[in-house]
């Protein structure tokens, strides 16, 4: 597939890929969020209550969930990258600076999107935040549970908080959820990392001290993927620590250049 040069990109406008709330204030900074496997971009929207009014949250919504529920899920990582790349570059072509935040598999996608933009000379994030995901050049730590029957895969997901107990009691919701997370896990697991020059933006890796999917050393290994400033932040909790208490951790998303905004 031939990818467009950055110069040929145009603002994408409204798209099912981008989830946001109507704004009353002009945005000074945009926080672009990439959800974890089986996740949903709508989960990021409540973060606005803990942020200054001139920080806009944009959630990246993959097919198969939310208003895209009827669309087929993606299982090819290269197809995802080559489809989302031009849309994201067009969306971010104009307007205020932006940050990338990705959790778990979303951290991988945020990183790949930052590399896609850099390789084409498009606007790049002011800062990349990766949470709960080992550096992309390391071997994939998670067992290939996407091939297990639903009941066994759900049991494995429960081990690290990857499925809500309330969801297990609703068979009709489980029938919708399991194909999505199964496809997301396969897409992520089957991707092959290709070395490229390190990013030119600062990179912060966030990890919990009791995360079974990402050790502190796994997170520290992200350092080789930026030629700018790198910071490692170790928190208390498990794999979903950030989503459990977003109001507590959101201030960590803002480098010095983006602080100082008042509500």
Q: Are strands 98-103 and 29-34 parallel, antiparallel or unpaired?
A: parallel
Q: Is 77 designated active site?
A: no
For residue 253, give the nearest of 214, 204, 201 by alpha carbon: 204
Residue 174 zone, left/alpha/beta (φ > 0; ψ -120 to 50; rest): alpha
Task: Name the catalytic one among 8, 15, 104, 169.
Answer: 104
Q: 67 Cβ partners below 8 Å, 6+ apart?
A: 16, 61
Three-state SS at 208 = strand
Q: Say if CB 219 and CB 242 are below 8 A apart.
A: no
Q: In whole angstroms, give the CA distance from residue 151 to residue 173.
A: 14
Other Cβ atoms closer than 10 A to 52: 16
Q: Say if CB 40 and CB 68 are below 8 A apart.
A: no
The DSSP code sequence of 86-146 is HHHHHHTSSSS-EEEEEETHHHHHHHHHHHHHHHTT----SEEEEES---TTSPP-S--GG
Q: In whole angstroms, give the CA distance from residue 129 to residue 147.
A: 30
Catalytic residue numbers read: 104
């Amino acid at each position: 597939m031939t990818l467009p040069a950055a110069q040929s990109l145009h603002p994408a406008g409204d798209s099912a890929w981008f989830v946001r709330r109507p704004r009353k204030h002009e945005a000074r900074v945009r926080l672009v969020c990439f959800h974890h496997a089986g996740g949903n971009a709508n989960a990021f929207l409540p973060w606005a209550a803990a942020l200054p009014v001139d920080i806009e949250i944009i959630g990246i919504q993959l097919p198969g969930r939310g208003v895209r529920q009827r669309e087929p899920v993606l299982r090819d990582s290269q197809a995802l990258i080559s489809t989302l790349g031009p849309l994201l570059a067009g969306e971010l072509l104009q307007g205020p600076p932006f940050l990338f935040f990705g959790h778990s598999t979303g951290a991988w996608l945020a990183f790949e999107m930052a590399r896609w933009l850099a390789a084409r000379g498009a606007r790049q994030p002011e800062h990349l935040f990766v949470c709960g995901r080992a550096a992309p050049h390391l071997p994939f730590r998670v067992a290939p549970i996407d091939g297990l029957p639903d009941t066994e895969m759900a049991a494995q997901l429960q081990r690290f908080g990857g499925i809500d107990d309330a969801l297990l009691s609703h068979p009709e919701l489980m029938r919708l959820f399991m194909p999505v997370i199964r496809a997301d896990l396969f897409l992520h697991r089957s991707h092959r990392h290709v070395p490229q020059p390190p990013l030119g933006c600062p990179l912060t890796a966030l990890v919990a001290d009791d995360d079974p999917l990402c050790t502190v050393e796994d997170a520290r290994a992200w350092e080789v993927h930026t030629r700018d400033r790198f910071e490692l932040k170790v928190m208390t909790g498990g794999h979903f620590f950030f989503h459990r208490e977003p109001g507590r951790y959101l201030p960590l998303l803002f480098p010095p250049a983006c602080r100082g905004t008042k509500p």
